[in-house]
Amino acid sequence: MTDMTCIRRYDGEVSRVACLMFVSWLSSCTEVQFGPPSSGASGPGGGGSGASVTTSTGGTGPGGTGPGGSGPGAAGSGGTGTTGGTGGSCIGSMTDPNNCGTCGHQCEGGDCKDGICQPTLFWQAGDAAAFTRGITIAESSVAWGAILTAGSPSTGVFSLPQTAAPLSVAMKHSDIVGVRLAYSTPWILWTNGTLHGAALTETDETTFGSGQCSSALAVGPQSSVFCVAQEGPATSDIWRYTSPYSKPATLWQTGLSTVTDIAIVGDSLFFGTASGLYRVSAAAPMGVPELVADDAVLREIEPFGGDLYFGGGGYLRRHNPEMASTDIVVTTPLEAKAIHVDANHIYVSESNVSVLRRYDHAGNAAGVWTLDSSDPHVMAGTTEYLFYTTYELGQVYRLVK
């Protein structure tokens, strides 16, 4: 029988508690600290010099040399990872992928640099010569398209759970590549000459049309789907499908030059061209398109919170349909390529620049990633994750926000 005294700390207050331990060969006591980390008690430490520390258990013998401690602590068993010697607490780290920036913020396979999680390779086509194209969030999964050659295992539409381990084997829904993707329960929808779809849980695809959808895609009211058919350099037609999508599509002729992207806000359909951003009703047959912003829309239109974000005139712009106003979000010249917006930030890639930039909604810089891969081609995300395709090298990346 051993009679020993333990020390427990609560926010710097120290009290002694008598501990009676009925152990013939070992006595121990658990210490918990809430508040700033301490340097530990005297004696051989239980942890190393790691940045993040959690509760650990000490003993009467010399402590170990685990890498997670904050310094010499009381005699203990030593910590590993974020578990250190006695007297430690969990803190954020600039480099620890398990506590990146803040305690408990895990990068899920990615590195931590300067307190920010780095993108990790989420999926790799079997042939690195493949190209990854469109991508979309589909409930708790993410789906994307890839292409190499017809019949290649690397060509088709694939999906994985958002939380899947990096480089997991993906479900293949079709052998037909998805140029642009969208999701409308329960369908993963994509364009490639026409409109295709596959249920999220199935591996058989359905063709809904013929020669009517070659690029941009958006889901509208009552699960209607709009897609763009490029008929030539001078005109672009928009097709409107209504659920079930096997019904004949309705043709809307824009009479405008190449449409770069389309988006739905409320009951309005917006589409971008080299001459500006246009709006028509999403519910009625197309009338004369209304020009709402005369800045060229060179690529994506990203809707969020009732606004539309797009790159135009060398800047990242935001259009508010309700106020009929367009402003420059980021005053630094920026040729926006892929865009993703969430409640806190705006993520933007630039053409032919292997950099991903993040801004707050006021346009202030809030992070930048220099990428080992090529620049993000298309992005999709949730509150927790950002996913993007790289176009070249057949890759999909995941970033924990």
pLDDT digits (tens, 9 = 90+) for 204-256: 999 998 778 888 999 988 889 999 987 655 678 889 998 888 888 888 888 88
CA distances 348 to 119, 209, 388, Å, are 14, 33, 11
pLDDT, residue 231, reads 60
Residue 120 or residue 10, greater confidence: 120
> For residue range 132-170, what is the model confidence (pLDDT) as tens digits?
999 999 999 999 999 988 788 999 999 999 999 999 999
How far is it between the farthest Cα atoms of the chain?
A: 92
The number of residues making up the chain comes to 401
Q: For the chain, which domains are there?
A: 1-91 (no CATH), 116-400 (2.130.10.10)
E-state strands within 80-155: 112-113, 116-117, 120-124, 131-138, 141-147
> For residue range 342-373, what is the model confidence (pLDDT) as tens digits?
999 999 998 888 999 999 999 999 999 999 87
Write the burial class of residue 313 (CB in 10 Å: 0-12 exposed, 13-18 middle, 19+ buried). Answer: middle
Residue 323 or residue 50, greater confidence: 323
Task: Measure the CA–CA gap between 104 and 138, rounded to whole angstroms.
Answer: 27
Structure-token pair, residue 265: 């806000």
Task: Measure the CA–CA gap between 21 and 251, rounded to whole angstroms.
Answer: 82
For residue 270, name the pLDDT band (cuts at 50, 70, 90): very high
Which residues contact residue 245 at a Cβ distance below 8 angstroms, ignoring those fewer than 6 apart? 187, 189, 195, 197, 208, 225
CA distances 100 to 115, 116, 397, Å, are 5, 6, 18
Task: Measure the CA–CA gap between 155 and 170, rounded to whole angstroms.
Answer: 12
Structure-token pair, residue 286: 């197309």
**DSSP annotation string for 287-343:** -SPEEEE-S---S-EEEETTEEEEEETTEEEEEETTTTEEEEEE-S---EEEEEE-S
E-state strands within 61-194: 112-113, 116-117, 120-124, 131-138, 141-147, 156-161, 171-174, 180-184, 187-191
Task: Measure the CA–CA gap between 271 and 230, rounded to whole angstroms.
Answer: 13
Mean pLDDT of the 318-334 span: 93
Mean pLDDT of the 28-41 span: 37
For residue 88, name the pLDDT band (cuts at 50, 70, 90): low
Residue 27 or residue 333, greater confidence: 333
Which residues contact residue 24 at a Cβ distance below 8 angstroms, ignoring those fewer than 6 apart? none
For residue 339, name the pLDDT band (cuts at 50, 70, 90): very high
Instruction: Give yes or no for residue 21 having a pLDDT over 90.
Output: no
Instruction: Give yes or no for residue 8 having a pLDDT over 50.
Output: no
Angle at 330 between CA 304 and CA 349, to 5 degrees: 70
Our measurement of the distance from residue 134's CA atom to the centroid of its chain's CA atoms, rounded to an integer in Å, reads 14
Instruction: Give yes or no for residue 381 having a pLDDT over 80.
Output: yes
pLDDT, residue 155, reads 94
Structure-token pair, residue 229: 């058919």
Task: Measure the CA–CA gap between 53 and 254, rounded to whole angstroms.
Answer: 61
Q: Bridge-partner residues for 2, per DSSP? A: 21
Instruction: Give yes or no for residue 7 having a pLDDT over 80.
Output: no
> For residue range 279-309, what is the model confidence (pLDDT) as tens digits?
998 887 677 889 999 988 888 999 999 999 9
> For residue range 49-58, what is the model confidence (pLDDT) as tens digits?
333 333 333 3
Sign, CA torsion 393/398/399/401 = positive
pLDDT, residue 258, reads 83
Instruction: Give yes or no for residue 400 having a pLDDT over 90.
Output: yes
Structure-token pair, residue 281: 């009703």
For residue 392, name the pLDDT band (cuts at 50, 70, 90): confident
